[in-house]
Structure 1
Amino acid sequence: MTSTRTPAVWMPFPAEGFDGLPEGFDYHVWDGEQDYPADPADCAFYVVPYMKAATIVSRPLMDMTRVRVVQTLTAGIDHVEPVLDRLPAGVRLCNAQGVHEASTAELALALILASLRGFPGFVRGQDEEEWKAGFYPALADKSVLIVGYGSIGSAIEDRLAPFECARVARVARSARTTARGPVHPLDDLPALLPEADVVVLSTPLNPSTKGLVDADFLAAMPDGALLVNVARGPVVDTTALLRELESGRLRAALDVTDPEPLPAGHRLWHAPNVLITPHVGGSTSAFLPRAKRLVAGQLSRFAAGEPMQNVVRTTG
């Protein structure tokens, strides 16, 4: 591969038919394949392939000696963060705030409703031609606790608004005030969990949230409460959750698991009172057009020497 003096952009979709891309860059498509489309050393702007393993997306970063911006297509950055210290100083890591809020919030609400209203049992009943009538819990009059009140947590509350919940409480890394009410710090969880009928996890994965939902967290939830995870699998201690599910005390609806993908034969597949979806919170028809708008806007700012949006970390 030969070097070029024109700054290169690597992204997981072709530039052809991509509206809004600025001129002055060499655009290369790379979606995690073994072979590189060009010399990584010439890459100035790296759009990280979506939903690929950390080992795959971090591989070219080691050789991107001229990279200035690393743009993820995910809200979380845990899959690239471990290698950032090996990059040159001044590299801006940007996340995909604005891309996944609607889709992830939709799924969170779908998981809540499907679990409370017994949809998994209805589907099994349909397969078995069995009429599973009866009374099931409603979301109305329930108390909901959102753990992780960033843009996704806020979008989840937006969608809870019409459902006549008795209360929505909010928790984030630090306390603040919003138009809807206070956001509590993580230290307030022991006081908030016993009052929560539904706990929704939408927090990023970092050292302070890994294993946050441990045996003590789960024990503080009331009998019959529902845990919904649209964050990252390692936020939850799977062994502790399995104990609560298998005892019948708690229920769970999980879009993410630890380990992930969940391997065949894992106890979680067949635990009682659990609904599992295969990490599809952001994988909807809304993703590609929103991702392209984000990338085009970021590249235009980069070309013009303007500040990047969604900067979550700068190396060095």
Structure 2
Amino acid sequence: MADRPRALLAMSPEFLHQLFPEPLMRRLAAVLDFDPSFIARDYTEPAAKAALAEAEVVVSSWGAPMLDDATLAGAPQLKAVLHAAGTVKWIIGKSGWERGLAVSSSSGANALPVAEYTLASILMAGKGIFQLREDFRKERTFALGYIHPGVGNFGRTIGIVGASKIGRRVVELLRPFDFTVLLADPYVEAAEAAELGTELVELDELVARADVVSVHAPDLPETEHLINAERLAAMRSGTVVVNTARGRLVDTDALTAEVLSGRLSAVIDVTHPEPLPAHSPLYDLPNVFLTPHVAGSHGNELSRMGLFMVEEAERYAAGEPLRHRVDSETLGRQA
């Protein structure tokens, strides 16, 4: 392409080839003009400063420096930021939004593995797999033909806390199953919830009715301890709490007390603090399935995040609207 927009890569170098393996890098280079051997880590460095002054597009990811107001003043040609990662809250200054930069993010790509992890957790928890595995490991035998009471996924009620990209994808994945799905989100109307195939309820009703409470709300000051001691106490015995959002949304001390009592179970991929102290009982309890923040994109899933931004670069170069453009008006209430 003769008139490719000038671009600059900005991220931690170790992520470049995980996000953009060779086939994707070729596609990116076909529509953007950039030096693949130069990655900006600090926009105040002379080489990065000079490159940014000429760039029309920044392709960024984890480890990218902040495009603050002072930096943007030295980037007169900049029109678009294609962020091959999740949130863009920490990489775009106020003047970037005021300028009307086209900002796109791969948060939708990252939502997919989180939703898949959540679906797997819901199904496994419904079958009682975590406790049954512990029992089987201890006893090393089982009675053929024995029907385990109190387990199974038929007719379960699943509570989704937050209609985020991940929450909505979880709802989609739950549709083939025999579940009743409740949704709690202050920004969703009943008609929209019905279109999603859910019943809109207040959070207090959701925690009291659901067999599984899955948390997908953003990490904001007002959502800290959204699932607090009172709401945990309101859950029926046997309820499973699934948290793939952020650890601060669930009161760790209150949850620990509930699972220690055996009244509740939990599948936890994120905690506060993160990681938990080595002495935390959550590591060892049979009714807690604890994983090290792995629900999001890892391994070959990173290339899907890169693919999302390569496709955005192709749209941008063709003069087409960006499909994953970030809405600055709603950014403040997103993760």
The TM-score normalised by the length of structure 2 is 0.73
Q: CA deviation at 1:212?
A: 1.0
What does the per-residue CA deviation read over 1:160-209, in whole Å, with 9 as the maximum and x for residues that have no partner?
233312x1112223122242445637xx1112321111111122222332
Deviates more, 1:59-68 or 1:34-43: 34-43
Among 65, 81, 85, which residue is 2:89 paired with?
81
- Equivalent residues of 2:181, 2:198 under 8 A apart: no
Among 174, 181, 184, which residue is 1:168 paired with?
181
Kindly indicate which of the two structures has a greater share of residues assigned to helix. Answer: 2
Aligned residue number for residue 25 of structure 1: 33
Deviates more, 1:224-233 or 1:92-101: 92-101
Are 1:184 and 2:211 counterparts? no
Bigger radius of gyration, 1 or 2?
A: 2
Are 1:119 and 2:135 counterparts? no
What does the per-residue CA deviation read over 1:235-264, in whole Å, with 9 as the maximum and x for residues that have no partner?
112112112112222111112111223342
Among 45, 58, 61, which residue is 2:58 paired with?
45
- Secondary structure of 2:176's aligned partner: helix
Aligned residue number for residue 220 of structure 1: 234
Return closer, same or farther for 1:83/1:126 CA change in 2, 3 Å cut-off.
Answer: same
What does the per-residue CA deviation read over 1:113-171, in whole Å, with 9 as the maximum and x for residues that have no partner?
33343433455456556236654521212111111223322322233233312x11122
- Secondary structure of 2:184's aligned partner: strand
Give % identity: 30
What are the ranges of 5 or more consecutive residues in structure 1 without an aligned counterpart? 50-56
Aligned residue number for residue 193 of structure 1: 207
Return closer, same or farther for 1:155/1:86 CA change in 2, 3 Å cut-off.
Answer: closer
- Secondary structure of 1:261's aligned partner: coil
Q: CA deviation at 1:60?
A: 5.5
Are 1:239 and 2:245 counterparts? no
Return closer, same or farther for 1:113/1:314 CA change in 2, 3 Å cut-off.
Answer: closer
Among 218, 238, 253, which residue is 2:267 paired with?
253
- Equivalent residues of 1:172, 1:183 under 8 A apart: no
Return closer, same or farther for 1:9/1:82 CA change in 2, 3 Å cut-off.
Answer: closer
Q: Which amino acid aligns with 2:249?
A: V
- Equivalent residues of 2:171, 2:196 under 8 A apart: no
Q: How many residues align?
A: 298
Deviates more, 1:154-163 or 1:247-256: 154-163
Return closer, same or farther for 1:288/1:29 CA change in 2, 3 Å cut-off.
Answer: farther
Q: Which amino acid aligns with 1:273?
A: N
- In the alignment, the residues of structure 2 paired with residue 164 and residue 277 of structure 1 have an alpha-carbon distance, to the nearest angstrom, of 27
Q: Which amino acid aligns with 2:23?
A: G
Return closer, same or farther for 1:181/1:72 CA change in 2, 3 Å cut-off.
Answer: same
- Equivalent residues of 1:234, 1:257 under 8 A apart: yes
Q: Which amino acid aligns with 1:114?
A: M
Aligned residue number for residue 108 of structure 1: 118
Q: CA RMSD in A?
A: 3.5
